[in-house]
Amino acid sequence: MKLFVGLGNPGAKYARNRHNAGFMAVDRIAEDHGFGPWRAKFQGEVTEGVLGGTKILLLKPGTFMNRSGQSVQAAIVFYKIEPSDITVFQDELDLAPGKVRVKSGGGHAGHNGLRSLHGHIGEGYDRVRIGIGHPGHKDRVSGYVLSDFAKADADWLDDVMRGISDGAPELAKGDGARFMNAVGLRVVPPRAKSGEPTPMKTPTKAQEPAPDTRGPLQKLVDRFR
C-alpha cells in the first residue's frame, strides 16, 4: 500500500484557497479513478482505491495545515507505511501558476504543512509541488495562500488537476517521468508534427469572389480591351 496525502485546510471556507491545491488534487484522483466514499479516520478523511495495480490510501488531514503531520503519522503507524511510500500533494509558492514538479526528500522551504510532516515523519517522502505563484513580498504570503484562486485561474487549474489525475497511476508505480508527461499533455497540448498537412481554412464571405453580373456583350468588350 502507498499513501497519497493532499495538504490543505478543512472546511468550506477554505475549499478554493490556493493553500488547498493538495486537497483539490486528491479529490480529483478519487473522483476520476473510482475510489470509495471519503470517511473520517486518522484525524482527517480517507478513501481507498487502486492505481497502476497498487493499493492507494488517499488522505486529507483534518488537523489544519500546520498540524498535518499528526494525521499522516497516525495513518502510517496503523498501516505500517514507510515514508518512502508516501507522496504529498502541496501548493508551491516558488513555482509559477500551472507548473508542476516532483521532488523526493529535501527541506520544507517554510511550508507549514511540510514543516509539520518533517517533525512527525522526517523528510524522506515524495512531493508533488503544484505551482501557485508568489505574491511578490513575504508579508503578503499568508493572505495570498489563504485567498481563493481567481476566476481567471480556472482553466489552467482544471488542466493541472486533470493532468495530475491522468498521471496518478504512473506516480503509484514510482515513475515520476511518465507522471510529468501526463501533466504536460494536459497543460501544454502537443503541436502538430512537422510535415503533417495543415487543415485548409474555409474562406469567409469577405474572401469569396464577387459574382460576375456582366452581360454577354460586356464580357466580349472587356475581353478585347
151 has a pLDDT exceeding 90 = yes
What would the pLDDT profile of 15-54 be if each residue is shown by its tens digit?
999 999 999 999 999 999 999 999 999 999 999 999 999 9
| Active site residue ranges | 19
Which one, of 57, 76, 52, lies nearest residue 6 by Cα? 57
Does the model's pTM come out above 0.85? no
Cell of 205: 464571405
What would the pLDDT profile of 180-211 be if each residue is shown by its tens digit?
999 999 998 776 565 555 455 444 444 455 56
Q: How far apart are CA 129 and CA 100, in angstroms?
A: 6
Residue 204 confidence (pLDDT):
47
User: Could you tell me the pLDDT band of residue 109, with boundaries at 50, 70 and 90?
Assistant: confident
In order of their start, the domains of the chain are: 2-187 (3.40.50.1470)
34: left (phi over 0), alpha (psi -120 to 50) or beta: left
The DSSP string of 64-133 is -GGGHHHHHHHHHHHHT--GGGEEEEEEETTS-TT-EEEEES---TT-HHHHHHHHHH-S-SEEEEEE--
User: Could you tell me the pLDDT band of residue 212, with boundaries at 50, 70 and 90?
Assistant: low
